[in-house]
Amino acid sequence: MSDTAEAQVEIRHAVGLHARPSVKFTKLAKTFAARVEMALAPGGPWIDAKSIVKVMATKAPKGTVLHLRASGDGARAAIDALVALVQRNFDEGVEGETDVRPA
Amino acid sequence: MGSSIRLTGTAASPGYAEGPVFRLTSHAAAYRPRATPDEEIEGLTEAIGTASAHLADLIDGTSGEAADMLEFQLAMLSDDSLASPAFVAIRAGAAADRAWSDALDAEIAGYESSDDAYFRARSADLKDIRQQVLDALTAAHGPAAPSGAILFGEDIAPTRFLATDWSKGGGIALTMGSSASHVAMLARARGVPMVVGLTSAVTAPAGVALLDAEHGGVVLEPAADEMEAFRRAAEAYRARRRVAEDAVARPASSANGIRVRTMVNIAHPSDVERIDIATCDGVGLMRTEFLFGTTLPDEETQYRAYRAVLDWAAGRPVTIRTADAGGDKPVPGLTVEEGNPFLGLRGIRLSLARPDIFRLQIRALLRAATHGDLKVMFPMIAVPEEYTQACALFAEEAAALDAAGVAHRMPPLGIMVEVPSVAIAPELFADAAFLSIGSNDLTQYVMAAARDNTAVAALNRVTNPAVLRLIEAVATFGRDNRIPVSLCGDAGGDPAAIPALLQAGLRDLSVAPAQLALAKAAISGVTV
């Protein structure tokens, strides 16, 4: 019997799940043998969390609640690590695009 | 020898360059399909591998934003799902180049249709990736540009820019392109002159080109006298740059030795990464609207943003303006729809109307104040009661933090002078810890000419005597009452306006970081 795990986490990074965060997120997911999937709603559609092409295509903005699920070897560890990365703001501190506006 | 050809465009990265024209061609080389789908798949797989290896090489010599972009491209290219629709199409009989282009075009269309400007901009990365693989498929790399060449074409991919040797000079002349593109940012960072949007029907430019990326133009096949005039202009430009660069490292003072404090305006905490704190006297205006993008920021997010800038400032003063939402900057869930938003519920009016949101910002500011020389100012103050109410909210939140045992400090609380009522009767605001003139809004309200309407742009002048008289009155009031007065609008960084601002009595200017060098140079030419 294989492991399964799931979790939800809110993206607080100012620019959402953009290029640099997506690179970190998918690289981390790939370090686990488990199948890891991500969705923007509890009912899916579920996409491969190891695919940056698919993760970027969700265009998840700040405030999005990511639904994560994993199955197979190390499923729990994979989910915990990914949730922690999102909660640490992808180790970037505050970052983002801005509308530049004069005084 | 025919006469020269002059093309005009828009300067995207300033400077001058002279050199041989090198034409940037887009995959002109024809792809020769292989015999079977299996061989086509093999060919595309190899091309992706070649492009990936090329990207990995580029990453080695790169850092910062450019490295992030390359890492992203490499990650996309390494993901099998990018090419899988192409492989499906090849098995159904398509040629590898067409299959790859179609697969990438579909991805690109997805990014281009996004509502989010950030995602739309990523389409340029996808186009770059598409081209790199096509080049590998058709072995269309062609000759590398000779060093010091003027690269001439429709547009240039970021990876092409990064793969070019700029150590011997050279520049970029594009018929399309944009000054907001990734390449333009890279060019500015590396000091490579670049002109975009050239009006050109020239299909085969050759010979020597003179690139004027100060005014935005290029001369092909120049005559001797044009060459001479160009070299004089280029030398004069370099001389001005040297003066400005020398000046930027030193504190600014006027020709007769009066010290003028020059600070920077920042819109986002990451702006400071590109600024050497030693070149400025602190931050005269940190906007906080960036935090109020699509969602309202929580206290912790704000605290971290403010603290990041205070840490960078290393003890120099940082003036943070409380949220100036409204006007031309609607925020979902905060601002209200109005017929005349510039005269409506914006700035401090909105903050006082939504104390629940304002209090979060106040708490974040009180906590951040323990990390440096923080000052806080309120935008759009029109009557003294607004200042009194805002100060009362600060006092209440400070008391609450005190009771909860949370470290905090009450920063000096000042006001923006941008509503004419304040500039006309500054004595009503003698309680304010400092006054900061927002010249953009002050000018538009005094002249009744919107700053974002080109039809009335000629009226929107800070050097109009009426505007200058108000600025002088505020500066005089401040000096007589020992209340610090500064200016943080665009005028502070405008060399044409600086003499009048100093004559009006200002000694504190806060300017856009890109204007710092020129502003200091302008200050050093004024006798007050």
Q: What is the mean pLDDT of each run of 10 residues along chain A (103 residues)?
A: 81 79 92 92 90 91 88 91 87 44 34
pLDDT at B251: 87
CA angle in degrees (0–180, nearest 5) for B315-B520-B216: 125
Q: What is the C-alpha separation between B275 and B267, in angstroms, rounded?
A: 13
Give CA separation, B447 vs B107, B419, B426, B438, in Å.
48, 12, 19, 14
Per the CB < 8 A criterion, the answer to whether B16 and B211 are in contact is yes
- Does residue A44 belong to any structural domain of this protein? yes
Over residues B197-214, the pLDDT tens digits come to: 888 667 677 789 999 998
Q: How many domains does chain A have?
A: 1
Chain A interface, mutation test: which of B268, B273, B437, B471, most A Cβ atoms within 10 Å? B268
Q: Whose structure tokens read 């200058």?
A: B468
Over residues B246-258, the pLDDT tens digits come to: 778 888 999 999 9
Q: Do B304 and A94 touch (CB under 8 A)?
A: yes
**Across chain B, what does the average pLDDT equal?**
89
Q: Whose structure tokens read 């600060």?
A: B394
pLDDT class for B142, splitting at 50, 70, 90? low
pLDDT higher for B495 or B16? Answer: B16
Chain B interface, mutation test: which of A52, A62, A87, A89, most B Cβ atoms within 10 Å? A52
Query: Contacts of residue B70 in chain A, CB cutoff 8 Å?
Result: none
Q: What is the C-alpha separation between A45 and B24, in angstroms, rounded?
A: 43
Q: Does the fold of domain B256-414+492-524 match that of domain B5-24+143-242? A: no
Note down the domain range covering A76.
4-91
Q: Do A62 and B416 touch (CB under 8 A)?
A: no
From B54, B280, B408, B488, the catalytic residue: B488
Can you name the CATH fold of B256-414+492-524?
TIM Barrel (3.20.20)
pLDDT at B2: 55
Residue extents of the structural domains in chain B: 5-24+143-242, 37-138, 256-414+492-524
- Does residue A54 belong to any structural domain of this protein? yes
pLDDT higher for B176 or A94? Answer: B176
- A19/B contact by beta carbon, under 8 A: yes
Half-sphere exposure of B217 (CA within 13 A, CB side): 12
Strand order in B10-13's β-sheet?
B5-8, B217-220, B208-212, B16-23, B150-153, B171-174, B194-196, B10-13
CATH assignment at residue A69: 3.30.1340.10
Q: Do B267 and A101 touch (CB under 8 A)?
A: yes
- Does residue A77 belong to any structural domain of this protein? yes
Query: Contacts of residue A103 in chain B, CB cutoff 8 Å?
Result: 265, 285, 287, 321, 416, 418, 438-441, 488-490
| Letter string b/e over residues B263-278, b meaning 16 or more CB atoms within 10 A of that residue's CB | bbbbbbbbbbeebeee
CATH fit for domain B37-138, picks 1.10.274.10, 3.40.50.2300, 3.90.550.10, 1.10.3720.10:
1.10.274.10
SS (H, E, C) B338-381: CCCHHHCCCCHHHHHHCHHHHHHHHHHHHHHHHHCCEEEEECCC
Per the CB < 8 A criterion, the answer to whether B261 and B509 are in contact is yes
- Does residue A56 belong to any structural domain of this protein? yes
The model carries a pTM of 0.55
Which residues is B508 bridged to in the sheet?
B261
A18 is catalytic: yes
At a CB cut-off of 8 Å and minimum separation 6, what does B316 contact? B277, B280, B281, B282, B283, B372, B373
Per the structure block, which two tokens stand in for B428?
């009503």
Which residues is B6 bridged to in the sheet?
B219
Over residues B112-134, the pLDDT tens digits come to: 888 777 788 788 889 989 988 98
Over residues B90-113, the pLDDT tens digits come to: 999 999 999 999 999 999 999 888
Where does residue B420 fall: left (phi above 0), alpha (psi -120 to 50 degrees), or beta otherwise?
Answer: alpha
Residue B399: burial class (beta carbons within 10 Å; 0-12, 13-18, 19+)? exposed
pLDDT at A17: 80
Per the CB < 8 A criterion, the answer to whether B21 and B150 are in contact is yes
Over residues B67-86, the pLDDT tens digits come to: 888 899 999 999 999 999 99
Which CATH number is B5-24+143-242 given? 3.50.30.10
pLDDT at B494: 86
